[in-house]
Chain A
């Protein structure tokens, strides 16, 4: 499974755009990139998934360069409620026998 590296923590202010970058230098051809969000005392929640280029949904955007060795989760105009831990996962999607392995995550703190 590809190892991921992401910042341990980040600080931001309300209304700012937040970009969290995840490095995955040994990503394999059949690996996808998935991001989950976890609030205190809750289970993780799926945010977004992508394979290449750019993916956007109502919550976030995911940018993946051509070499796929890194990816960036972009949260537009964060609010206090976006304070959470964000996990980057890289691996074959689980119907291909892959399993979801969580790293240490990035603890995002949004200040007023």
Chain B
């Protein structure tokens, strides 16, 4: 059963430390999204990629966040340095653009819960 895999599932770190979250999209999917979810802000779009190229990262704080796709099987989201306000659940999702009879749904991973002390 194909699924999006995210690591780590849980991460507790101290302010100022570097955090890297990884995502393995479903094989064959060419679009990858990064979202962040908090109680206050809900689900926020951070960035998304098509065929490994960044299409939009306007939702991402540029000074400390970076997102990349080193290859088609790996997407990374890095925070350096991390701050307590970055505490959230980070979701990765993958999919393909809509096609004949296919609505182009996104498949989400289970998320990486980040706590910055």
Contacts and interface: CB of A to CB of B under 8 A. Distances in A.
Interface of A: 32, 34, 41-46, 49, 87, 93-95, 97, 99-105
A46 B109 contact: no
Given A43-B111, A94-B31, A105-B42, A100 B106 contact: yes
Contacts of B105: 34, 46, 49
Contacts of A102: 35, 42-43, 45
Interface string B32-45: 01010000001101
A99 B48 contact: yes
A43 B109 contact: yes
A95 B91 contact: no
A95 B98 CA distance: 7
Interface of B: 4, 31, 33, 35, 42-43, 45, 48, 55-56, 91, 93, 95, 97-98, 103-111
Given A44-B106, A93-B104, A99-B56, 17 more contacts: A34-B103, A34-B105, A41-B111, A42-B110, A43-B110, A43-B111, A46-B105, A46-B106, A94-B95, A95-B98, A95-B104, A97-B55, A99-B33, A99-B45, A102-B35, A102-B42, A102-B45
A41 B111 CA distance: 8
24 contacts: A32-B103, A34-B103, A34-B105, A41-B110, A41-B111, A42-B108, A43-B93, A43-B111, A44-B93, A44-B106, A46-B106, A93-B97, A93-B103, A95-B98, A95-B104, A99-B45, A100-B33, A100-B45, A100-B106, A102-B42, A102-B43, A102-B45, A103-B42, A105-B42
Contacts of B103: 32, 34, 46, 49, 93
A77 to B, nearest CB: 24
A100 B45 CA distance: 8
Given A99-B48, A99-B56, A102-B35, A94 B43 contact: no
